[in-house]
Every structure is written in structure tokens, then in C-alpha cells.
Amino acid sequence: MANQNFNTFGRTGTAADQAAFDVGLRAHMIRVYNYMASGLALSGIVAFGLFSSPDLAGLFFQIQAGRVVGLNGLGWVAILAPMGLLLLVSFRAAQMSVGSIQAVYWAVTALMGVSLSLLLFRYTGASVARTFFVTAAAFGALSLYGYTTKKDLTAMGKFLFMGVVGLILASIVNMIWPSGAMSFVISAAGVLIFSGLIAYDTQKIKDQYADAWGTDTAEKVAIFGALSLYLDFVNLFQFLMMFLGQRR
């Protein structure tokens, strides 16, 4: 795959150039994974902070008898704000500086910690930790497959994107007319879709690096790649919690 990527942007393809490209690709992937891991850590710190402090949790949630029973106004803002920030960078990425994109990335991952804290209020700590490690192991295997496979996953990506759209629509319907069977189907589909997206996005990050190699956009590409994998990981984790989580 590295050779294929290297040849797509018109380099001469000498052994020295190929070696430089391979070294750069490895460094790029490490940077992507470091960004992603740091984002997960920030989300975890925010989630645990809210769970540990009733005063902080009260800023976002309606709490009765020590239990979260809903979101307040600020909570809804925190839950919906990541979507707005993602739309912002999707339309303004070319005009934004690296520093601005980094700020958006850290803001998104911090705000995601608010929604993730709900898992800590809903499920036991042991089941959250166990599911996190299961998700991490699955992510590692799927991302490794996406990185090493010679198969072009582009067609699978289009199918998975349609699956995400269907998942969103089904979730909205299930919110209006709740159904246990529908919830199970949505959760199972979510696990399959985001498992596939981990492999697809990993391969896409390699392709994007090939296009950005030798340009000043490589850091932006790394941040966007990390954001894609971060969202894949978080969504897979949340859907797995519905199967593996033990309620308090």
C-alpha cells in the first residue's frame, strides 16, 4: 500500500525517496495515534471529574437523590456543541491554521467527556473499564488490518457511510417510539459499522498522508485523522457498553 500511495503523487520512486516516505508515514501514524490517545485521555479526565464531583455534574445534569435524571440547558449545549464544531472544521478546514484546528480538536474531545460521563453514572466502574479494554483491543486489531491490508477499502467506506446515516435515522425513530428490539438491532449494527470504519479510516489516513507528503498540510491531516479514529473508538465503545455494561 505504501508503494501504491507513493506512486500516486508523481514522485520518481527511487529507493531513497521510498525509504524517506516510509519513515515519514510511520512518524505520521504515530502522531495520529498520539493525538487520538491524548484526546481519549482528556475525555476520560472530564468524564471522571464530572462523575466524582456532584457540584461539577450539577452544571450539566439534573440530579435527584444523587442520580442523573436528565440534562439541563448547559448540558444540552455541551452534548450538541461537538457536532457544531465538527461542521465548522469540515467547511473551514482549508482557511484554518493548525493552531485553530488543534483548539477545535481539544474542545471536541473535552466536550465529549460530558456525554461519556453518563456511562459512568449508568454503568458500574468495573464494566466500563472492562469494555474500554475490549474496545482498545478491537481497535488495535482493526486499525492494524486497515494499515497492512493490500485490499482497497474505498467501496466498503461508502457502504459504511450509508450505514451511519441509517443508524442516525433509526436512533431518532427509536427515541420517539422506544423499542427494546430496535435498541438491540441499533447497537449490533453500530458495533459492526464502527468496527469497519476503524479499518477504513486507518487506510484513508495513509492515503491522505501520501497526498500531503512534502507539503505544509501534514499536521492538519494528522489532526483530522486522529479525530476520525477518536470518533470511531468512542462510538464503538458506547455501542459495546450496551452489550457488556452492567447497570448500577
In the prediction, which pLDDT does 8 show?
A: 39
Mean pLDDT computed over 205-217: 76
Question: How many CB atoms lie under 10 A from the CB of residue 77?
Answer: 14
Mean pLDDT over each residue of the chain, to the nearest integer? 87
Determine which of 69-83, 172-186, 187-201 has the lowest per-residue pLDDT on average. Answer: 172-186
Sketch the domain layout of the chain as residue ranges: 2-244
Residue written as grid cell 467501496: 155
Pairwise CA distance, residues 173 & 71, whole Å: 20
pLDDT digit string, tens, across residues 108-149: 999 999 999 999 999 999 999 999 999 999 999 999 999 999
CA angle, 104 then 105 then 111, to 5°: 85
**Residue 4 confidence (pLDDT) above 80:** no
In the prediction, which pLDDT does 31 show?
A: 94
Residue written as grid cell 491554521: 97
pLDDT more than 70, % of the chain = 91
In the prediction, which pLDDT does 12 show?
A: 46
> How distant is the alpha carbon of residue 68 from its chain centre?
25
Nearest to 198 by CA among 133, 135, 151, 127: 135
In the prediction, which pLDDT does 175 show?
A: 84
The CA–CA distances, whole Å, from 157 to 10, 130, 141, 200 equal 25, 29, 18, 6
Pairwise CA distance, residues 42 & 62, whole Å: 23
Instruction: Please provide residue 67's backbone torsions phi and psi, each rounded to the nearest 5 degrees.
Output: -115, 140
Residue written as grid cell 461537538: 82
Q: How much is the pTM?
A: 0.88
